[in-house]
Structure 1
């Protein structure tokens, strides 16, 4: 019975495992909890991403249905000094969609870049929009809007400087 006197033999006894069962169960439960939390976070992230894609898909559908509005061409939208009455509604829907996208997926800079690109096409209208002047939109959208309009303002200032320099030369 020398075999039972060694430490290795203790691993074969019921008493050894019975005393340590609580520790093992707690460890397994902790690992299971960690996997569950990771799955929940992943599911939430994917759900938000799907919401953003769905909202943007609706915007693209709106653009497909209204190609004249989608490009934001002022000469097509504004005739005889009057803006097409449907265009402000198009812009409102566009801004609402962008707000939903940014709210759903705040950390994705690719969305911000895409939205900024779209906003720049409609800058001529957005600069005069009452909706932009009032704080009706979420801060995330307002930041992208201001950035898009700021870039536009800086570009116009550079163009004016270039024109002024050419005139003086």
Structure 2
């Protein structure tokens, strides 16, 4: 075997090794990009939920709902329905963008339970229910099936059972 043959073999192996390294680098880059997107989506969901919590702090009259009193005033009812919409949107984001732990599930069920009366209303069922994810619809349905869920603000562990 001549030096030229050895050089050609070495060049062939170098090309194979370079291609393998490039492929591995591409796979690592894609994995990193996906991981970054996941972290970014989680951070966004947490921020949306934090914004909802600020809204609850700014509007305590809606965060512990008295749906009967609220529904007597059309302006209050309109604001309250937007408030609950923000809560449900935040819940949907948490469901879709995070690892839905038992703690998150309990937190969301507890917040949903407070608004059970509204969530059972014809207005919500006709106009808004269908716009939420299947997972959130299941949570809402679970809370609404428990007659005392919104009245005494039960521990979320009872709702999660």
Hey, what's the Cα distance between the residues in 2 that align with 1:104 and 1:81?
33
The one of 110, 115, 118 aligned to 1:125: 118
- Whether 2:100 is the aligned partner of 1:108: answer yes
Q: How does 1:40-55 map to 2 (within 5 A)?
A: 40-55=33-48
The residue that corresponds to 1:146 in the other structure is: 141
The residue that corresponds to 2:52 in the other structure is: 59
Hey, what's the Cα distance between the residues in 2 that align with 1:154 and 1:78?
15
The residue that corresponds to 1:26 in the other structure is: 19
Question: How far has the Cα of 1:141 moved from its partner?
Answer: 1.8
Long gaps (5+) in structure 1: 1-9, 157-169
TM-score normalised by L of structure 1: 0.67
What SS class does the counterpart of residue 41 from structure 2 fall into?
Answer: helix
- Whether 2:128 is the aligned partner of 1:136: answer no
Question: How far has the Cα of 1:81 moved from its partner?
Answer: 7.7
Question: How far has the Cα of 1:43 moved from its partner?
Answer: 0.9
Hey, what's the Cα distance between the residues in 1 that align with 2:70 and 2:112?
24
Structure with the larger RCO, 1 or 2 (CA within 8 Å, 6+ apart): 2
Long gaps (5+) in structure 2: 151-161
Please, which moves more after superposition, 139-148 or 125-134?
Answer: 125-134
1:154 to 1:71, Cα distance in 2 relative to 1, 3 A: closer
Compare CA radii of gyration and give the structure with the larger one: 1
What SS class does the counterpart of residue 131 from structure 2 fall into?
Answer: coil
- Whether 2:72 is the aligned partner of 1:82: answer yes
Deviations 1:87-133 (A, max 9, x none): 2332222223323333334x524443321110011112222252234
Alpha-carbon RMSD across the aligned residues, in angstroms, is 3.1
Hey, what's the Cα distance between the residues in 1 that align with 2:82 and 2:113?
17
Hey, what's the Cα distance between the residues in 2 that align with 1:65 and 1:80?
16
The one of 62, 65, 76 aligned to 1:69: 62
Hey, what's the Cα distance between the residues in 1 that align with 2:80 and 2:63?
9
